[in-house]
Amino acid sequence: MKRFLILLAAVLALLTPARAQIAVDISIKQRLFIRHEPILATITVTNQTGRDITLADARESQWFSFQISSEGDHFVPPRHPDYHLPPLPMRAGETLKRTVNLSELYDLGDFGIYRIRANIYLAEADKYFSSKPTHVDITEGRIMWRRTAGVPSGQKNAGQTHIFSLLAHQHGEQNTLYISVEDQDQGTVFCTSTLGRIIDGAAPEIQFDSSNNLYILHLVAQRTFVLTKISVNGEYLGQTTYTAPKTRPTLRKLPDGTLQLVGGHREAPVSTDPAEAPAPLKLSARPPGLPQS
């Protein structure tokens, strides 16, 4: 009889509308990622409680978190489990969106498939509200080129040796080129960034200048080339598009060690704002606060 009453109470609890409801959704635009590539997740939170609330950390629970597991249901903990975020007030019926880089918050450096949920904790109800799960697949990609280069004196990280890798990765019918810069001794990944589409069978031209900044010239469409410059510390220094109606453009090193493109007509440059490039990722870094979308 006692067991029956307990079961009945559990069923009634399921049938009783919750007093506090928060709708949570997670969106990640693509499924396949290169190892250490930024994984941008957009979280949508809607206050359906019917009143104003404030999302805030409790003693044992952060109000914003993720539940991430790898194959075999192995839980992936945050890089720093004791992170704290400022309280977030929400009006009744309000919907807010935030975008975070999961690669900064969690160690997703192993290859494989990850299952991801976003969790929102409401302290006044002592309850978590979770999104439906989504999945991402981490792969190494195909290594097209790899070199090491030292950081010259007078520059940040002078004396260190950095590894530059060009990777190709298939996204649907399109082959995409990536650049990765890392210091394996320090455990630092400076960047893993996409350089855009690459045409199969057209190998990029790659050269270092006298300061060991890397120049990559690759074909993106018929008679259209993109030149990308990456600093020795993995900083994005801009892209420029060139058209070459007659001959393929090439890179020429001048006597002072700088590089010059020969044989192409320069188009408008792509954004050179370094703020648009992913920030360097220290593998032991403390997760940052929740950024604005």
Q: Which of 18-22, 29-33, 81-85, 120-124 has the lowest mean pLDDT?
A: 18-22
pLDDT value of residue 278: 43
CB atoms within 10 A of CB 76: 19
Percentage of the chain exceeding pLDDT 90: 54
pLDDT value of residue 291: 39
pLDDT value of residue 7: 41
- Helices H, strands E: what count in the chain? 2, 23
Structure tokens at 128: 């978590």
Domain assignments of the chain as residue spans, ordered by start: 19-138, 142-281
Is the pLDDT higher at 174 or at 22? 22
Q: Is 3 helix (H, G, I), strand (E, B) or coil?
A: helix
| Contact of 182 with 190, CB cutoff 8 Å | yes
pLDDT tier for residue 15 given thresholds of 50, 70 and 90: very low
Give the domain 19-138 fold: Immunoglobulin-like (2.60.40)
Q: Which of 20-29, 37-46, 164-173 has the lowest mean pLDDT?
A: 164-173
pLDDT value of residue 85: 86
- Would you say residue 8 has pLDDT above 80? no
State pLDDT tens for residues 117-136: 999 999 988 999 999 999 99
Query: Across the strands, what pairs with 230?
Result: 214, 236
pLDDT tier for residue 270 given thresholds of 50, 70 and 90: low
pLDDT tier for residue 144 given thresholds of 50, 70 and 90: very high
| Whole-number average pLDDT of the chain | 83
State pLDDT tens for residues 196-248: 888 887 889 999 999 999 999 999 988 899 999 999 999 999 999 999 888 88
N residues, the chain: 293
- Would you say residue 87 has pLDDT above 90? yes
pLDDT value of residue 264: 82
pLDDT value of residue 222: 86
pLDDT tier for residue 268 given thresholds of 50, 70 and 90: low
Rounded to an integer, the average pLDDT of 40-58 is 94
pLDDT tier for residue 9 given thresholds of 50, 70 and 90: very low
Comparing CA positions, the residue from 54, 220, 150 lying closest to residue 228 is 220
pLDDT value of residue 218: 93
**Residues 6 or more apart whose Cβ sits within 8 Å of residue 281:** 36, 103, 104, 188, 189, 190
- Would you say residue 116 has pLDDT above 50? yes
CB atoms within 10 A of CB 293: 12
